[in-house]
Structure 1
Amino acid sequence: MDKITTTQELARIETALAQFSEGASIENIKNALNPPIGKRTLQRRLVKLQEIGVVSISGRNKATRYHLIRAKEEKIENISKEHSIPLSPEAEEIIKIITQPENMREPVAYNIDFLMSYRPNVDSYLSDAEKNKLAELGKTTGLDQPAGTYAKNILQRLLIDLAWNSSRLEGNTYSLLETQRLLALGKAAEDKTAEEAQMILNHKEAIEFIVRFADEVHFSHYFVSGLHALLSNNLMADPDASGRLRTIGVGIGRSVYMPLEIPQQIEEMFGIILHKADQIENPFEQSFFVSVHLPYLQPFEDVNKRVSRLAANIPLIKHNLSPLSFVGVPKGVYIYGLLGIYEFNRIEVLKDVFMWAYARSAARYAALRQTVGKPDPFVSKYRQEIRSLVSEIVLNALPYEEAIQKIKQAAEQLPEEDRVRFTEIIDTDLMNLKENNIARYFIRPSEFRVWKEKWEL
């Protein structure tokens, strides 16, 4: 049972108030709370909720009524609707708490019991139904082939997808097309920083590292520290910190969580995480387990989230399952998932993101498995805009730099929440254009060849 904190009490009061559309007296609220909160404490909490703009007050004395301002609920609902990520009620409740101002959230330290209480193959973060669903989504024709065969077959696609999406979640501003050009031709975008290019190139090498050693890669100090060494190469203030467990304290932005600081404890917990992960038999449970515990420990000075995203792919690549490339995952809700773990050891938000993200990733590779998927409602919504823009770029034989600007201009005409996805779809279509599929854009082979020559210059 989690310890009841001031922040959690505030969230419970908000939930209770939500039952009263016309406002509630303090007695109404008190009776709706289970377990109860003392009247004096409840009064203080209601004053605090008013100060931070969650509750408004009307009337005086016995006629005083408290009204819930719905901004937070609407924000959470929009997160779910805009990005098509279905959030469970438990996940929504966690987001309510962690979107409180930091000065309203009580500082918390690393909880050793969160890790130690987990028993591999006895306890499980994923239910049997969730594991079965993921297995059905992720199955490929290469399940009985040598480890890493499937990833090798789709390696160029995987390098671009995972390098771009993982970097994007770190705030990297490269587009999918710019990422492809960097990885394929070594040409960095002129309007981007050297650090952004380095981040993407580091991802490429780290992914290749997993795929190359797929038959022996596992959750060992060598392989996970090796991922950090590759992902942090030329990006650390102290070059010697690449691949090395941290010996200094670190802070977490936007969080009141305080990770471990004692080097011996960090090393011990890191070893326990790897040992438990390596014992887990189900590859999806392995993947999610390290997605939770590597960021929570923060074993390295920086680049911990990147390590966890690539480490999550180790069991998937090893078992020839569809990889997890984080296609379309919005940064905001992903961060909420981590904050829920950092501050409350609650996995619900991150699990909702994980399940949704894997379904999206698996669907992306369905075509490579020659299967038919459901129509994407987003593509249906912007079908005409997508077709017109791709056709315009090819028929006018726009070179790469001009096409990038044209795509940006078109995206800026759309609602903000649709821009990244629209750009990704255009980028993907241009990358996948071949003479055997150009008819869907009413492009002739001769027109395609002229554009292709300019595009590859």
Structure 2
Amino acid sequence: MCHIVIMSKHIPQNELDAVLRAVGQFTEGASIKDISAVMEKLLPRRTLQRRLRQLVAQKKLVLKGRGRGSRYIEKVKVELDATLPSLKVESHAEAYIPVSREGEQIKQAVRKPVQNRQPVGYNREFIDDYIPNTTFYLSLEIRQRLYEMGQSSDDHRPAGTYARQVFNRILIDLSWNSSRLEGNTYSLLETDRLLEFGEVAEGKQAKESQMILNHKAAIELLVEQAREIGFNSYTICNLHALLSDNLLADPRACGRLRAIPVGISGTVYIPLEMPQLIKESFLKVLEKATAIENPFEQAFFAMVHLPYLQPFEDVNKRVSRLSANIPLIRDNLCPLSFVDVPEKAYIDGLMGVYELNRIELLRDVFIWAYERSCARYSAVRSSLGEPDPFRLRHRALIFNVVNDVVHGVMNKKMAVSFIKQSAVEKIELKEQERFVEVVETELMGLHDGNIARYRIRPVEYEKWKITWTAQ
């Protein structure tokens, strides 16, 4: 019997790379027709099909759909669409979120010594190349998943309905977490007392108290004026004025675009210096943000481009975090409160934007943070799957501390000291802050429908509650 062996023709790597570059221009996948239209060198259809088949076989591309509906998409984009798991703290490592392969590459790049990183300035093409509703930082799958997690039964009611229903919780969570990402040392309970009673925590700097109170005023603006706010100069400049009140060396800079150069510590990125260019770029960012139709893409766009531009003398990151909530509050979606987000992961993500114009690590942070926020507000309790391993590991101690606070009829001030002392005595240093937050969150969430899990009787709960809510 005669066997005929057909030798496949070797395809040069540079030709395969050209196809990969063409596919990479389409965030949500591309048809053969789409790919052919942007190819640097026109290829016959059958030749292009062979190149695509080989890239699929090499697991560099994924083919989705069949027939005329088939689309090719980069493998790394498909991997990113997988649900990100819970935060893990390993004994030998820092607390960090799980990241995509591209996110890990960015993390390693921005953690190189400063002297080994190339200084860069503001890249105007970064914003120019973004075309609203054509360019997407978040894939279709991600946008759909976030909507499924964040939607509420209030989506057809007036703007801000959902936020008003959980206003007290948002006020505390977002004020505390956004301040925490700036290095603020207030605890969750201390934040609660400051916002509810105006009680300044002992041993804290005045600027820390001011920062939290400023967040309160800014969040009230977002919720109370949910129908009027948007990505316009009025909203963003007033957010800045509220967030920076009594915190800038020049009070006249509150709510005004900067007219002086600024530097950012720890990075080789140099923001724009000319006031006219700052104003032009600021208006362009707002124009493009306004044109974006999807609320999650709009929110993430603000988190990327507002801090990258640095339109104000200071407080730019805080403005971007609260601005990200504008479309979520407007559309009655779960707000983004940055609960549990490690400061280092957030900063690394921003560094990737500043120095590399790469958004993947910050995108990982955004997606993970929104999942955690949804869990906090019970929008989709099942979306995170596995229980929090930290809570499981310290379940007995959390139980005992909560139980002691209630049975000891402690007020919030007494509880803060007791919880911190318990953490110092029984939790290793790198996990103490997380432990304090978990216990404080449990105490603030106690009600007569869940006290049995802490073996607290109704009469004990009512007695403690009177002390707990008193000034």
What is the TM-score with the length of structure 2 in the denominator?
0.78
Note the alpha carbon deviations across 1:42-77, whole angstroms, 9 max, x for none: xxxxxxxxxxxxxxxxxxxxxxxxxxxxxxxxxx99
Q: Given the alignment of the two structures, is residue 437 of structure 1 paired with residue 455 of structure 2, yes or no?
A: no
Superposition map of 1:111-126 within 5 A: 111-126=123-138
1:194 aligned residue (202, 206, 209): 206
1:235 aligned residue (226, 247, 259): 247
Would the aligned equivalents of 2:171 and 2:216 in 1 still touch at CA under 8 Å?
yes
How far apart are residue 371 of structure 1 and its match? 7.8
1:143 aligned residue (128, 149, 155): 155
Q: Given the alignment of the two structures, is residue 385 of structure 1 paired with residue 397 of structure 2, yes or no?
A: yes
Would the aligned equivalents of 2:155 and 2:333 in 1 still touch at CA under 8 Å?
yes
| Partner Cα distance (2:381, 2:389) in 1 | 20
1:286 matched residue in structure 2 = 298
Q: Given the alignment of the two structures, is residue 365 of structure 1 paired with residue 377 of structure 2, yes or no?
A: yes
1:262 aligned residue (274, 278, 285): 274
Note the alpha carbon deviations across 1:188-218, whole angstroms, 9 max, x for none: 1122122111111110110110111111211
Question: Which secondary structure does the structure 1 equivalent of 2:214 belong to?
Answer: helix
Flag structure 2 segments of 5+ consecutive residues without an equivalent: 1-87
2:259 aligned residue (221, 243, 247): 247
| Partner Cα distance (1:223, 1:166) in 2 | 18
Superposition map of 1:215-234 within 5 A: 215-234=227-246
Residues 1:80 and 1:96: Cα distance change in structure 2 (over 3 Å)? farther
1:14 matched residue in structure 2 = none
2:67 matched residue in structure 1 = none
Note the alpha carbon deviations across 1:435-454, whole angstroms, 9 max, x for none: 33222111122222332333
2:461 matched residue in structure 1 = 448
Note the alpha carbon deviations across 1:10-58, whole angstroms, 9 max, x for none: xxxxxxxxxxxxxxxxxxxxxxxxxxxxxxxxxxxxxxxxxxxxxxxxx
1:26 matched residue in structure 2 = none
1:395 matched residue in structure 2 = 407
Flag structure 1 segments of 5+ consecutive residues without an equivalent: 1-75
| Partner Cα distance (1:434, 1:228) in 2 | 36
| Partner Cα distance (2:374, 2:107) in 1 | 27
1:92 matched residue in structure 2 = 104
Question: Which secondary structure does the structure 1 equivalent of 2:199 belong to?
Answer: coil
Residues 1:241 and 1:78: Cα distance change in structure 2 (over 3 Å)? farther
Superposition map of 1:51-200 within 5 A: 83=95, 85-200=97-212
2:329 aligned residue (317, 329, 338): 317
| Partner Cα distance (1:403, 1:77) in 2 | 26
Would the aligned equivalents of 1:79 and 1:333 in 2 still touch at CA under 8 Å?
no
How far apart are residue 184 of structure 1 and its match? 1.0
Q: Given the alignment of the two structures, is residue 415 of structure 1 paired with residue 428 of structure 2, yes or no?
A: yes
Note the alpha carbon deviations across 1:69-99, whole angstroms, 9 max, x for none: xxxxxxx996997546221111111111111
Tell which deviates more after alignment, 415-424 or 221-230: 415-424
Would the aligned equivalents of 1:245 and 1:299 in 2 still touch at CA under 8 Å?
yes
Counterpart amino acid of residue 169 in structure 1: L
Would the aligned equivalents of 1:139 and 1:322 in 2 still touch at CA under 8 Å?
yes
2:416 matched residue in structure 1 = 404
What is the TM-score with the length of structure 1 in the denominator?
0.80
Note the alpha carbon deviations across 1:228-278, whole angstroms, 9 max, x for none: 001001111100000000000000110010000000000000000000000
Would the aligned equivalents of 1:334 and 1:350 in 2 still touch at CA under 8 Å?
yes
How far apart are residue 150 of structure 1 and its match? 0.3
Would the aligned equivalents of 1:80 and 1:86 in 2 still touch at CA under 8 Å?
no
1:211 matched residue in structure 2 = 223
Question: Which secondary structure does the structure 1 equivalent of 2:448 belong to?
Answer: coil
Note the alpha carbon deviations across 1:311-361, whole angstroms, 9 max, x for none: 000000000000000000000110000001100101111000000000000
2:59 matched residue in structure 1 = none
How far apart are residue 394 of structure 1 and its match? 1.1
Question: Which secondary structure does the structure 1 equivalent of 2:142 belong to?
Answer: helix
| Partner Cα distance (1:319, 1:260) in 2 | 33
1:326 aligned residue (332, 338, 350): 338
Would the aligned equivalents of 2:96 and 2:342 in 1 still touch at CA under 8 Å?
no
| Partner Cα distance (1:213, 1:296) in 2 | 26
Would the aligned equivalents of 1:108 and 1:258 in 2 still touch at CA under 8 Å?
yes
Question: Which secondary structure does the structure 1 equivalent of 2:339 belong to?
Answer: coil
Would the aligned equivalents of 2:96 and 2:344 in 1 still touch at CA under 8 Å?
no
1:7 matched residue in structure 2 = none
Counterpart amino acid of residue 173 in structure 1: T
Give the share of equivalent positions with the same residue, in percent. Answer: 54
Q: Given the alignment of the two structures, is residue 352 of structure 1 paired with residue 330 of structure 2, yes or no?
A: no
| Partner Cα distance (2:92, 2:312) in 1 | 32
Alpha-carbon RMSD across the aligned residues, in angstroms, is: 2.0
How far apart are residue 223 of structure 1 and its match? 0.4
Aligned length: 381
Displacement over 4 Å in runs of 4+: 76-82, 369-374
| Partner Cα distance (1:120, 1:341) in 2 | 19
Counterpart amino acid of residue 228 in structure 2: E
Counterpart amino acid of residue 383 in structure 1: R
| Partner Cα distance (2:125, 2:275) in 1 | 18
